[in-house]
């Protein structure tokens, strides 16, 4: 069969496949088939367009089909839908959506970049004007036109994932009253509880209403448009509804062709991005991935991953040899003035794999020295495996620079680095950019102390759940700090007074000592142990990260 690459799908992975394959082989025929007219666009930028961070729609359009085809020597079949793969015959059936005609393309290698589509709950009223999903630039333009046409002032966002929170921020920037509704008991399911709580505080501070553990049960409308959302907690008025409850892979074409499907019906691929048919490849939001830390199948649909997978698929389709080892699940999101990043495993993963195998710590620290203008707070969560001392997960949040820290830790996790190796990293230092001991180094050292059993801490969420009347909560800050607010029921012994006053504490009860961020309480822990107390822990993150009741 004459070599001919056929690629199905646009946006990120499809055009990346076509462009890279052309660079690999200047002569091989390449055809790209997509049912959209716009082949490549910045989908992740759509919330910011809707928030008027920028106003020119053209900035979202990465590549025009005609220009892309001409520059890369690719036959562009826009407005065509792939309907059937005959793997044995190496043919693809496509339908012209405008003209209605059907034709068959022969391929030597086939690349599937069919992406994902919004998941819609089984409720009444989804067809009401004013109810949207946000998956493409076409969706964004339709939402923008609707807002302008009806001068929308009240919106509901259903689903508190990354896009949902970005939409809340940007609709608030546009002056709307916004209610966020989430079925789960926390926003941002991919992060730990302490991070999610901080995100909710920021959402509420920016003026959004947040309804957690709340089910969307239906939509109300009048003769013109949507008027409200029916929930398990009662009706919520709305002139605009963004449904962002999740996505599902577009894998039906592959499944009907007999290709093996994987987690959540993604298309199963190997590291070369080959499907169960060696002449068919898949990349992007339709394709399964491997979690590098655990080696387990995973699915985290992101544009960054789609581009990398598309490149690997193209190299191999064009006769080269490349591999995509997997992901660690790195992601970033901004929520008002709060920056959030995550990578690797989260607490929920550790509990599933066996929480006793892992240790966690939580460290607050500023992103640059406090004496520098612009210094801002960060909090870093670190997870490590006890036996190997490998860092396996991290999350960072705060007003400071998050992405630098998460990228360092994503690299460390991918490389299988231990806490000692992370603590020894030669990271950049200068007062305008970072402190002499970056929060990454500090957290790795704190983790090392825990793994060595030099200290024993407790995470805020765990203490909230397990604290009993028998637990002694000890504040080791100064009296003026205590007066400004403390954990409910705590008693005060300043750090310097602990050696002579430790006898005031009951020796037969558990003691949890805390300070503002954790530094003094770790020192207090050692002093209490030296004084003979047996059951002592310190509160990771101190009162800064406390999620329970306070007083004063």
**What are 34-79's pLDDT values in tens digits?**
998 888 888 899 999 999 999 999 899 888 899 999 999 999 999 9
Distance in angstroms (rounded) separating the CA atoms of residues 208 and 336: 11
**Count of alpha carbons within 13 angstroms of residue 417, beta-carbon side:** 22
Q: Are residues 210 and 143 in the same domain?
A: yes
Asked, for residue 519, whether it belongs to a domain, the answer is yes
Helix H or strand E encompassing 144: helix 137-150
> What are the tens digits of pLDDT across the range 21-36?
999 999 999 999 999 8
> What are the tens digits of pLDDT across the range 435-491?
999 999 999 999 999 999 999 999 999 999 999 999 999 999 999 999 999 999 999
pLDDT at 139 over 90: yes
* Last residue in a domain, options 202, 230, 245: 245
> Stretch 207-236: mean pLDDT, rounded?
96
Asked, for residue 229, whether it belongs to a domain, the answer is yes
Q: Are residues 346 and 309 in the same domain?
A: no
Are 539 and 518 within 8 A, CB to CB?
A: yes
Asked, for residue 62, whether it belongs to a domain, the answer is yes
Q: How confident is the model at residue 142 (pLDDT cuts 50, 70, 90)?
A: very high
* Last residue in a domain, options 385, 420, 451: 451
Are 425 and 407 within 8 A, CB to CB?
A: no
Q: Are residues 64 and 93 in the same domain?
A: yes
Q: Cβ contacts of residue 127 below 8 Å, gap of 6+? A: none
Q: Are residues 373 and 271 in the same domain?
A: no
Q: Are residues 341 and 445 in the same domain?
A: yes
Q: How confident is the model at residue 552 (pLDDT cuts 50, 70, 90)?
A: confident
Q: Are residues 143 and 224 in the same domain?
A: yes
Question: What does the longest C-alpha to C-alpha distance in the chain come to?
Answer: 89
Q: What DSSP string runs through 439-468?
A: HHHHHHHHHHHHHTTS--EE-HHHHHHH--
Distance in angstroms (rounded) separating the CA atoms of residues 516 and 540: 10
Asked, for residue 330, whether it belongs to a domain, the answer is no
Asked, for residue 324, whether it belongs to a domain, the answer is no
Q: Are residues 403 and 445 in the same domain?
A: yes
CA distances from residue 368 to 177, 199, 377 in whole angstroms, order as listed: 35, 22, 9
> What's residue 166's pLDDT?
97
Pairing of the two strands 536-539 and 511-514:
parallel
Q: Are residues 211 and 265 in the same domain?
A: no
> What are the tens digits of pLDDT across the range 158-178?
999 999 999 999 999 999 999
Q: How confident is the model at residue 131 (pLDDT cuts 50, 70, 90)?
A: very high
Asked, for residue 162, whether it belongs to a domain, the answer is yes
pLDDT at 255 over 80: yes
Q: Are residues 496 and 426 in the same domain?
A: no
Domain count, the chain: 4
Q: Are residues 206 and 136 in the same domain?
A: yes
Q: Give the mean pLDDT of the chain.
A: 96
Range of the domain at 343: 337-451
> Stretch 530-546: mean pLDDT, rounded?
95
Could you tell me the pTM of the whole model? 0.94
Asked, for residue 474, whether it belongs to a domain, the answer is yes
* Last residue in a domain, options 424, 451, 478: 451
230 three-class SS: strand
Residue 219's CATH number? 3.50.50.60
Tell me which DSSP letter residue 60 carries: G
> What's residue 533's pLDDT?
94
Asked, for residue 329, whether it belongs to a domain, the answer is no
Q: Are residues 462 and 543 in the same domain?
A: yes
Q: Are residues 75 and 87 in the same domain?
A: yes
The two structure tokens encoding residue 227: 């008027």
> What's residue 29's pLDDT?
97
249 three-class SS: strand
Known catalytic residues? 44
pLDDT at 112 over 80: yes
> What are the tens digits of pLDDT across the range 3-12?
899 999 999 9
């Amino acid at each position: 069969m004459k070599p001919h690459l056929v690629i199905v799908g646009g946006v990120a992975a499809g055009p990346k496949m076509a462009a890279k394959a052309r660079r690999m082989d200047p002569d091989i025929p390449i055809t790209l088939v997509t049912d959209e007219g716009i082949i490549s666009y910045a989908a992740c930028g759509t919330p910011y367009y809707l928030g008027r961070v920028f106003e020119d729609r053209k900035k979202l359009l990465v590549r025009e089909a005609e220009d892309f085809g001409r520059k890369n020597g690719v036959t562009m079949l826009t407005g065509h839908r792939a309907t059937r793969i005959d793997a044995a015959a190496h043919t693809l059936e496509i339908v012209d959506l405008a003209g209605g005609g059907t034709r068959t393309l022969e391929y030597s290698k086939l690349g599937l970049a069919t992406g994902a589509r919004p998941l819609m709950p089984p409720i009444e009223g989804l067809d009401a004007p004013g109810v949207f999903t946000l998956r493409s630039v076409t969706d964004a333009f339709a939402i923008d036109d609707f807002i302008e046409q009806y001068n929308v002032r009240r919106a509901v966002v259903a689903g508190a994932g990354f896009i949902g929170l970005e939409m809340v921020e940007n609709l608030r920037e546009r002056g709307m009253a916004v209610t966020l509704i989430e079925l789960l008991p926390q926003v941002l399911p991919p992060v730990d509880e302490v991070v999610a709580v901080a995100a909710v505080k920021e959402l509420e501070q920016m003026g959004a209403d947040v309804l957690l553990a709340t089910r969307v049960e239906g939509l109300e409308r009048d003769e013109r448009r949507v008027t409200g959302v029916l929930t398990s907690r009662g009706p919520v008025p709305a002139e605009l509804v963004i449904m962002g409850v999740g996505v599902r892979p577009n894998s039906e074409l592959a499944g009907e062709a007999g290709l093996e499907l994987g987690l959540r019906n993604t298309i199963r691929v190997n590291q070369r991005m080959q499907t169960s048919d060696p002449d068919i490849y898949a990349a992007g939001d339709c394709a399964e991935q491997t979690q590098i830390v655990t080696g387990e199948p995973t699915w985290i649909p992101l544009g960054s991953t789609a581009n990398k997978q598309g490149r690997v698929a193209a190299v191999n389709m064009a006769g080269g040899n490349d591999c995509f080892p997997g992901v660690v699940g790195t992601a970033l999101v901004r929520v008002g003035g709060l920056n959030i990043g995550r990578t690797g495993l989260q607490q929920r993963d550790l509990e599933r794999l066996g929480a006793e195998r892992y240790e966690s710590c939580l460290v607050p620290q500023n992103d640059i020295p406090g004496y520098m203008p612009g210094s801002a707070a960060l909090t870093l969560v670190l997870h490590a495996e006890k036996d190997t001392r490998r860092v396996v997960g991290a999350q960072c949040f705060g007003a400071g620079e998050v992405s630098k820290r998460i990228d360092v830790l994503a690299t460390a996790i991918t490389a299988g680095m231990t806490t000692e190796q992370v603590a020894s990293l030669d990271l950049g230092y200068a007062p305008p950019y970072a402190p002499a001991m970056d929060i990454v180094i500090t957290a790795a050292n704190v983790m090392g102390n825990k793994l060595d059993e030099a200290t024993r801490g407790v995470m805020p969420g765990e203490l909230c759940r397990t604290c009993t009347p028998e637990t002694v909560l000890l504040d080791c800050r100064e009296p003026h700090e205590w007066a400004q607010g403390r954990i409910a029921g705590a008693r005060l012994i300043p750090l310097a007074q602990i050696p002579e006053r430790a006898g005031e504490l009951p020796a037969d009860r558990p003691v949890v000592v805390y300070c503002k961020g954790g530094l003094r309480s770790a020192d207090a822990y050692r002093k209490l142990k030296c004084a003979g107390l047996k059951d002592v822990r310190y509160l990771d993150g101190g009162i800064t990260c406390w999620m329970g009741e306070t007083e004063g």
